[in-house]
Amino acid sequence: MAEVLVAKNIKKSFAVGEVVAEVLKGVDISLNEGEFVAIVGESGSGKSTLLYILAGIDSPTEGIVTLLGKDIAGADKAMLAQMRRRDFSFVYQFDNLVPNLTVYENITLPLMLDKRKPAEFADSVKEIVEYLGLSDRLKSYPRQLSGGEQQRVAIARALATSPKIIFLDEPTGSLDKERGRQVMELLKDINARRGVALVMVTHSPAHAKYASRIVRMEDGMIADIGEGSL
């Protein structure tokens, strides 16, 4: 199977005052096309830092990340920005929807920034919106939505560009149990039906089980790799 992401010997240090904290201590991780990987581990173990580096949002102190065949450590900003708009998406724990844009405008924002024409994407966005149960919310503003709905909008926006990979940092972290379960069912379905590879950081062992592979981080390293239920 083709690998869409390969990271080798990833190290990351932050200078905190006079001390240098080594937060990632040599992580190797890869992702196959259409795979669903969950990253778990205690708070502070380096999960978010790793996810940001894999998605090119942050750069490693050492190591190489190859995303869809491209070395992203050496990539220039413009190319990375274009990849972020076309090839992969990111969903944050606390959604960063734009408050003064409607739901529809938020979902299509990455497409508009990529200068795509509404006529080109209208059908596929409509399908995604229906699929996520957001059809009657398109004219609402983020503040008028529940937390679960806002997270569905963030996922719709991530899907709108038809990415090959979606990175998610605790996508259920701010949701109650039932809404969290619904989001997980949705992610499982997106992975199965659309073949989008997912890399998801989660605190929840139950949610990690939705993945095909579970990577457990401990103190900046991968402590073990297990199988999910997929």
Ligand X SMILES: Nc1ncnc2c1ncn2[C@@H]1O[C@H](COP(=O)(O)OP(=O)(O)O)[C@@H](O)[C@H]1O
- Which residues of this chain interact with ligand X, rule CB under 6 A? 14, 16, 21, 23, 41, 43-49
- Which residue type occupies 78? A
Distance CA 199, CA 112 (A): 25
Q: Which does 41 bind (CB under 5 to 8 A by kind): Mg ion, ligand X, none?
A: ligand X
Which pairs from 68-77 meet CB under 8 Å and 24+ separation?
A: 68/4, 68/5, 68/164, 68/165
172 sits near Mg ion (criterion: CB under 5 A):
no
CB of 206 to ligand X, least distance (A): 18
CB of 88 to ligand X, least distance (A): 19
Q: Which residues of 115-143 are buried (b: 16+ CB within 10 A; e: fewer)?
A: ebeeeebeeebeebbebbebeebbeebbe
CB closer to ligand X, 178 vs 224: 224
Contact mark string toward Mg ion, 17..56, x via CB under 5 A: -------------------------------x--------
CB closer to Mg ion, 113 vs 223: 223
What is the 8-class DSSP label of residue 93? S
CB of 44 to ligand X, least distance (A): 4
Residues that bind Mg ion (CB under 5 A): 48
